[in-house]
Amino acid sequence: MNFLIYLVVGGVAGWLASMLMRRDASMGIVLNIVVGIVGGFLGGWALPKVGLVFGSGWIGFLITAFIGAAVLLLFINLLTRGRSR
């Protein structure tokens, strides 16, 4: 059951981050979920190292996944800046 919650919360976080980074038109729901989950792992690993912890529960995971997904999309935007889409 937790895995399903992670998928839903990761998908929402990925969707919000893709809207913030203006990549929502080029990404589908599957990539939003993937970016949100990878962003959750990235944020869960990196944010405590710099002293940022947003608590436990799904709201803390959503905030962490959103920040991680936004950073991941920023990195992807930097890599694909010169390429045609």
> Does residue 84 lie in a domain region?
no
pLDDT > 80? residue 80: no
Q: 38, 63, 59: which is closest to 48 by C-alpha?
A: 63
In a domain, 82, yes or no: no
Provide the domain limits for residue 61. Answer: 2-76
Nearest-10 Cα torsion for 58, 64, 66, 69: -130
Please state the rounded mean pLDDT for residues 17-45.
80
> Quick one: average pLDDT of 43-59?
82
Query: What is the pLDDT averaged over residues 22-27?
Result: 69
Summarize the confidence of residues 38-42 as an average pLDDT: 85
Q: Assess contact for 37 and 9: CB atoms under 8 A.
A: no
Overall number of domains in the chain: 1
Give the least confident one: 23-27, 54-58, 67-71: 23-27
